Structures are given as C-alpha cells and as structure tokens.
Structure 1
C-alpha cells in the first residue's frame, strides 16, 4: 500500500500561520515565496494537514526509468522550494529504493545550508 509523506505540520490553524496565504510549512529562508503563493493547498481528508494540490510522485526514483539518483536531489529541492509539500512514496517503488534515495535527497535539500526545515510526518 502506498504511503504518502507530508511535510506539513500535524496541526494547522490560521493562528499558526504568519500569513494566511502561505502554508504552515513555509520557511522564508528556504522557499521561493512567489512560487509558494501560486501553489494551491488543501486540507488532507479529515486531518488538519495542509498539503499542496500537486504531489511529488516518487515511483520513478525507484529505478523504473533507469538510474536517476544523480539528479534527484536537485529535482526534489526544486519541488520543495516551489511549495510542494506532499510526497507519494511506497515500498514497492523499487523495493524501498525510492524511499531511501528520497530520504537522502530531502535531507540534503533541507539541511546542507543549515536552514530551518519542516519535519516529516509518516503515516
């Protein structure tokens, strides 16, 4: 069964947002504010998580189309900087290979500059 990982905080409310037009996952020193403002977000089911309407599908990272490991960190960083905070992943995408590569890429994209970053919520 696919697992989706959101970079959204577990709780959400207008009081938790400095600017209601930005998602609770927005980090000023990391995100492209103009791109994040253009991204559309919605509540995930009956949870309080706010996720981007566009998800990052990680199936191809598992090797469906060859080795993409060299370029995936840059691709993930662009997606995150532009406001995507919903990532679809599953063990079956390369027998956990995509999850492993994705985890390294997210860590690299969010931490190599020492930025404050959102935490991962596993479902």
Structure 2
C-alpha cells in the first residue's frame, strides 16, 4: 500500500484529504507544522507528500526546500495544496521543489484525479 504524508495545519482539510486518500486505498501519515513535516518525511520516506503552504512555523516552500536538500533523499513527489493563488505563487512553489500545485478549496470529486495526474508526471 502506498503512503502519503499530508502536511496540513487545518483539521478539517486534513480530515477531508485523509478520508479521500483512504477511500482510494492509500495509507496516510500526517504533520501539522512544517518542522514536523520535514522530520516525518525524512524519517518515514512516504511515496508522496501533500503540502500546505501556509503553516504555523516554517512555510511549505521552506519545507519543500529542506526535503529536497536532504542528503540521499530520493525524489519523492511533493504536491502543494494551497489557497495561494496570486500571480507568481505557482511558479514559486514549483521552483522550491514541488511537482504540482492544487488550489484550495479542493474539489473532493476531482482532487484524486489531480493528485494522480501529478504522480504520473513525476
């Protein structure tokens, strides 16, 4: 079974995303801060990461940079799921090492297709 790490500080979003992933047969791990997300990613080595950008300590861009900079890190797909929708935000997220970008609020009927599309390209 493939495992997703969901780094999300909003309980409702975390619950919704985890529910959708479980329904599609994925196991999940979670973290609610950026620092905990980096530690969890490096310790558990998930198959992919869903990453909120606005986190209470370090932001998701820094999380992605730290994961990508970790020595010996295999190229795990990182997908930003964020309400950041200003001009240039998508480019900044992708430049930090994310493989994809999904805007919030997520569409529960489409989000798995969006995730799987990014995973297929990664």
**Fold equivalence (TM over 0.5):** no
Give the TM-score category using the shorter length: 0.3 to 0.5
* TM-score under structure 2 length normalisation: 0.34
Structure number with higher helix proportion = 2
Kindly name which structure, 1 or 2, has the bigger radius of gyration based on alpha carbons. 1
* TM-score under structure 1 length normalisation: 0.34
